[in-house]
Amino acid sequence: RVAAPSARPSTRRGGVRAPVRAAPIVRAMAAKDEKKTLVKVCGVTTPEDATQAASAGADFIGMILWPKSKRSIPLDVAKQVADAAKAAGATPIGVFVDESAEEIVAACEAVGIDHAQLHGDNARAALTDLPMKIKAVYVVSAAKDGAIVTPMPGDEEKLCEDRRTKLSGAGGWKAAIDWVNGPRRTIDWLLVDGVVAGSGETYDWTNLRVPRGCSRKGWILAGGLDPANVGDAIGSCKPTAVDVASGVADEGGVKKDPAKVDAFIANAKSASMEMA
């Protein structure tokens, strides 16, 4: 009796079933995921808004911990927001303006977060005194014409050379431990915002020139983004992530409008997929 031929392509080699090779497909899917534009919803003031934004697909939830902002929240509320963000799968970020390194670290520990956004001169100056366990989002401002007007964080080549020097020699193992808990030497994210942060004003994204390689994980576009223009902004600048605050706020300008949040995230992800 002759067996009917199988409709499937044979996976046998010399009588031994060969393993199905899905690795190329997996790698292709992973590469596509890496190209997706991340979304940060900033100025979140309640756990409910954090849960809604994260559930809609936000990757980061920003909380203003600078007391002079209209969207500022106290540390006890920030902890609730951070917990809600993490429970829904997003990374919470604390935003600082005038605080010292000691104040930033203390606030992060109290809230239970490890990401600090350095949005003012004093906060940016604290960068080198922040321990490496704090992930730094370094903010620079762009003028109306798209020209970056804030100095970059520093000479990364020199900082890396300093690290190599400390790691060499007999005491290198100790230097490696000190590197994690000691002073910060690099930034994780570069965020480009308008000169007046949180104002909802846009600038010329087409003229924006972001220095490549100045941060470990990429750069974030902010400044006047909303559900209507985020797709064009992503197509024009191709940022690693986009940041929105005023563009998804309700009429009061503080709490988030769930419909706007949903639309912003959906349009950002759609524009990202079109580029992939």
Name the phi and psi angles at 18, rounded to 5. -85, 145
pTM, whole model, 2 decimals? Answer: 0.79
Q: What is the largest CA-CA distance in the chain?
A: 86
The three-class DSSP label of residue 216 is coil
* CA pair distance 197, 64, nearest whole angstrom: 12
Give the percent of the chain with pLDDT over 70.
74
- The vertex-47 CA angle with 42 and 52, nearest 5°, equals 70
**Which of 73, 37, 44 has its CA nearest to residue 258?**
44
pLDDT in tens, 15-29: 555 454 444 444 443
pLDDT in tens, 187-203: 999 999 987 665 567 88
Q: What's the number of CA atoms in the CB half-sphere (13 Å) around residue 217?
A: 13
- pLDDT of residue 138 exceeding 90, the answer is yes
Give the percent of the chain with pLDDT over 90.
62
Band (pLDDT 50/70/90 cuts) for residue 108 is: very high
Choice between 205 and 251, residue whose per-residue pLDDT is larger: 251
Which pLDDT belongs to residue 104? 98
**Which of 66, 182, 87, 74 has its CA nearest to residue 128?**
182
